[in-house]
């Protein structure tokens, strides 16, 4: 790979930083003046720790992989500062400054230099641990739209980072498909990628584009159970990219998997709720189905690549296999849905939202 077109797997293939729980406690004391207990969190490519002070305050210490460009880490920091400054109607971690006022620090290890930052810990229950009733899917859609609005206008030199999860680079997922052992699943993955390359990706320059979260999966979304299972916040901005806004819709929707009844029912509820906050253009609505399939194809490909690359005792691999084991099954289910039928379902869902919104002033009167 050239410097202008780096390997999108380079960072996630690198070993996580070798910092211990004791190191995390020492860093919190030296740089932030905090006396804490710590436990390690599972991470794809970094080393993260959940910190707790004696008076109950909670934080997350994030130590970036030395293979990650420091500019990319700064991209994540600046995004959180941008959202905080806008006082947006979303809950995200906030940056905690060091004793001398810095948003991050540099530490070295045998692997190289790591950017380190401390963020607040968001309370809540991970969405992945809860059922997905329609009301929660709708609340998720509205919340995702508000997060998109919170990031609108944000720019950064690292916004076009090379990452396998960057749908602008989805064609490069083809290089991983040979890791998929099931012939039928591999064929569906390749077909989804082929259609994207020929029919969808050429439309990207015409679509609304901004920085998006790009990883609104149930492991990164929190709910507030006491308040009726409503979305309480979003974490992990490590996969942010600048791309068409509708990509963020499709990425989140790809995790609303239903294997009984209408496989698009939850997705339609999510998309309609998103549309109620940030209206989608007709061409964006029609792209959601194929973008979902591309995200699923990427998920399946990366999962099997990771199985081949990582050791059996890797905690992130164990977590990935558990969380993403249904991606191939759902891709197979969607591959049997006629594209025109998917368009009709999603168009009707958004049209119903438009009608409801038009009636609201009358109800208010």
pLDDT tens, residue by residue, 324-355: 678 999 999 999 999 999 999 999 999 988 76
Stated pTM of the model: 0.90
Domains and CATH numbers, the chain: 10-120 (3.30.200.20), 125-358 (3.90.1200.10)
- pLDDT of 150 > 50? The answer is yes
Q: Which residues pair with 251 in a beta bridge?
A: none
The tokens of 365 are what? 């009167």
3-state secondary structure at position 60? strand
Alpha-helical runs (H) found in the chain: 10-13, 21-32, 70-86, 134-151, 183-195, 245-253, 265-277, 282-309, 315-324, 327-335, 339-364
Using the predicted structure, report yes or no on whether residue 73 has a pLDDT greater than 50: yes
**233 beta partners:** 222
CA dihedral in degrees (287, 293, 294, 299; nearest 10)? 150
- Distance in angstroms (rounded) separating the CA atoms of residues 295 and 171: 12
| Mean pLDDT for the chain overall | 90
Tokens encoding 326: 């249904």
73 phi-psi bin (left φ>0, alpha ψ -120 to 50, beta other): alpha
Please tell me the distance from the alpha carbon of residue 289 to that of residue 300, in angstroms, as a whole number.
17
Helix 282-309 vs helix 327-335: crossing angle, to nearest 10: 140
pLDDT for res 217: 94
The sign of the CA dihedral 223, 142, 93, 21 is: positive
For 49-72, what is the mean pLDDT? 93
Q: How far apart are alpha carbons 301 and 305 in whole angstroms?
A: 6
Instruction: Give the pLDDT confidence score for residue 357 in this predicted structure.
Output: 57
Q: Give dist(CA 354, CA 294) in Å, integer.
A: 28
Residues in CB range of 158: below 8 A, 6 or more apart: 69, 71, 72, 74, 75
Which carries the bigger pLDDT value, residue 314 or residue 63? 63
Q: What is the pLDDT of residues 108-149, one digit of tens each?
A: 887 788 999 999 999 889 998 788 899 999 999 999 999 999
Q: CB burial class (10 A; 0-12, 13-18, 19+) of residue 88?
A: middle
Q: How far apart are the first and last CA of the chain?
A: 62
Residue 61: phi and psi, rounded to 5, are: -95, 120
Low-confidence winner among 64-73, 129-138, 226-235, 260-269 (lowest mean pLDDT) = 226-235
The pLDDT of residue 43 is above 80: no
Give the model's pLDDT for residue 224. Answer: 87
Whether residue 246 contacts residue 291, with contact meaning beta carbons closer than 8 Å, is answered with yes
Checking if the pLDDT of 291 tops 80, the result is yes
Instruction: Give counts: helices (H), strands (E), the chain.
Output: 11, 11
Would the pLDDT of 267 be above 50?
yes
Q: How long is the chain?
A: 365
User: Could you tell me which residues come within 8 angstroms of residue 338 by beta carbon, excluding any fewer than 6 positions away?
Assistant: none
SS3 256: coil
Alpha-carbon 216 to chain mean position: 4
Closest-CA residue to 132 (of 233, 234, 260): 260
Query: For strand 47-53 and strand 36-41, is the pairing parallel, antiparallel, or unpaired?
Result: antiparallel
pLDDT at site 3: 41
Check pLDDT > 90 for residue 180. Answer: yes
Is residue 323 pLDDT above 80, yes or no? no
In angstroms, rounded to a whole number, what is the distance separating the alpha carbons of residues 301 and 288? 20
d(CA 227, CA 212) in angstroms, rounded, equals 27
CB count in 10 Å sphere of residue 283: 11
Q: Output the pLDDT for position 364.
A: 35
């Amino acid at each position: 790979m050239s410097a202008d077109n780096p390997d999108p797997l380079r960072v996630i293939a690198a070993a996580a930083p070798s910092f211990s729980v004791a190191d995390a406690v020492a860093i919190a004391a030296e740089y932030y003046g905090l006396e804490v207990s710590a436990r390690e969190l599972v991470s794809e490519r970094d080393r993260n720790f959940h910190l707790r002070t004696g008076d109950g305050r909670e934080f997350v210490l994030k130590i970036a992989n030395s293979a990650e460009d420091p500019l990319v880490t700064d991209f994540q920091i600046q995004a959180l500062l941008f959202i905080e400054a806008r006082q947006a109607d979303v809950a995200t971690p906030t940056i905690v400054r060091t004793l001398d006022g810095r948003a991050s620090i540099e530490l070295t290890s045998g692997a190289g230099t790591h950017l380190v930052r401390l963020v607040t810990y968001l309370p809540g229950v991970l969405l992945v641990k809860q059922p997905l009733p329609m009301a929660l899917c709708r609340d998720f859609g509205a919340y995702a739209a508000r997060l998109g609005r919170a990031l609108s206008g944000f720019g950064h030199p690292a916004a076009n980072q090379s990452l396998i999860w960057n749908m602008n680079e989805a064609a490069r997922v083809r290089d991983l498909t040979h890791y998929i052992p099931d012939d039928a699943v591999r064929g569906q993955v390749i077909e989804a990628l082929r259609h994207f390359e020929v029919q969808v990706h050429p439309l990207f320059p015409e679509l609304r584009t901004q920085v998006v979260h790009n990883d609104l999966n149930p492991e990164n979304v929190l709910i507030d159970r006491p308040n009726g299972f409503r979305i309480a916040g979003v974490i992990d901005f490590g996969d942010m990219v600048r791309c068409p806004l509708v990509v963020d819709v499709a990425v989140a929707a790809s995790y609303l998997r239903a294997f009984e009844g209408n496989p698009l029912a939850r997705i339609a509820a999510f998309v309609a709720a998103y549309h109620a906050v940030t209206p989608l253009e007709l061409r964006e609505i029609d792209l959601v189905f194929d973008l979902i399939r591309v995200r699923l194809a990427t998920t399946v490909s990366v999962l099997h690549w990771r199985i081949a690359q990582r050791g059996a005792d890797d905690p992130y691999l164990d977590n990935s296999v558990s969380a993403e084991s249904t991606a191939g099954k759902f891709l197979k289910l969607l591959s049997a849905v006629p594209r025109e039928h998917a368009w009709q379902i999603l168009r009707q869902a958004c049209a119903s939202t438009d009608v409801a919104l038009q009636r609201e002033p009358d109800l208010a009167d």
